Amino acid sequence: MLTQDQMKLAAAKKALEFIPENAVIGVGTGSTVNLFIDQLGTIKHLIQGAVSSSEATTERLKALGIPVLDLALVDELPVYVDGADEINHYLHMVKGGGGALTREKIVAAVAKEYICIADETKYVTVLGEFPLPVEVVPMARSYVARQLERLSTSGSRVHPELRMAAGDKVFLTDNGNYILDVHGLQIAEPVSLESKINQIAGVVTNGLFAQRRADVLLLGTQSGVEVKR
């Protein structure tokens, strides 16, 4: 019986097969990606460098001697490797458990191919069991929360919760914003919900990655890594 971490590691190792030589690659954020970064360290001489999606990832890349480049100065990003909190059979995702959703979405938008690495617990039929992270400009938090509550249907009560950090402090993203974690959504139409939430004034972005879904899923399972497209 493999542990969740062993399945994550298997997916992270498999991702090395998708890294083109001499390229700059995009790197996501999270515990699965951390395992991938460690693997990337073993082939760092084969790549030019990486564009990072968070301060935490930047620190880890630099610690391994992998050059971190500014996205604005990079013409092409053939591949972006990142995890997910949930991923469905269409490879639509919920992301942002680590709070890095906005930069992740930007780097993913630039990349030609999105490689998602995840263990089998992340693979779901309907998105929304994991609370959907929404990054908001601090002054808009109450307004956005009220607007999000209006997504409730007769069968479900939608409940946005302000994300907290240790020591009773409000969690701050790398961009200095807040996160509302939205509970109670059953996301039947991820593509349209992604747009709808982004249209609320004060929302920076939300953790639905449906309009730019993953192209390849490397899913660590009990019986090996499954490649899904």
Residues that bind ligand 5RP (CB under 6 A): 28-32, 82-85, 95-101, 104
Neighbours of 65 (CB within 10 A): 9
- Nearest distance from residue 32's CB to ligand 5RP, in Å? 3
Which is nearer to ligand 5RP, 48 or 221 (by Cβ)?
Answer: 221
Which is nearer to ligand 5RP, 35 or 158 (by Cβ)?
Answer: 35
Q: Rounded CA gap, 81 and 27, in Å?
A: 5
- Nearest distance from residue 130's CB to ligand 5RP, in Å? 9
Which is nearer to ligand 5RP, 96 or 202 (by Cβ)?
Answer: 96
Which is nearer to ligand 5RP, 158 or 214 (by Cβ)?
Answer: 214
Q: Which helix (H) or strand (E) holds 27?
A: strand 24-27
- Nearest distance from residue 170's CB to ligand 5RP, in Å? 17
* Tokens coding 111: 């990349």
Query: Is-catalytic flag, 104?
Result: yes
Cα–Cα nearest to 205, from 129, 103, 83: 103
Q: Encode burial over 12-47: b for 16+ CB neighbours within 10 A, e otherwise.
A: bbbbeebbeeeebbbbbbbebbbbbbebbeeeeeeb
| From 104, 113, 129, 161, the catalytic residue | 104
- Nearest distance from residue 166's CB to ligand 5RP, in Å? 17
**What's the distance, Cα to Cα, between the start and end of the chain in Å?**
26
Task: Give me the active site residues, please.
Answer: 104
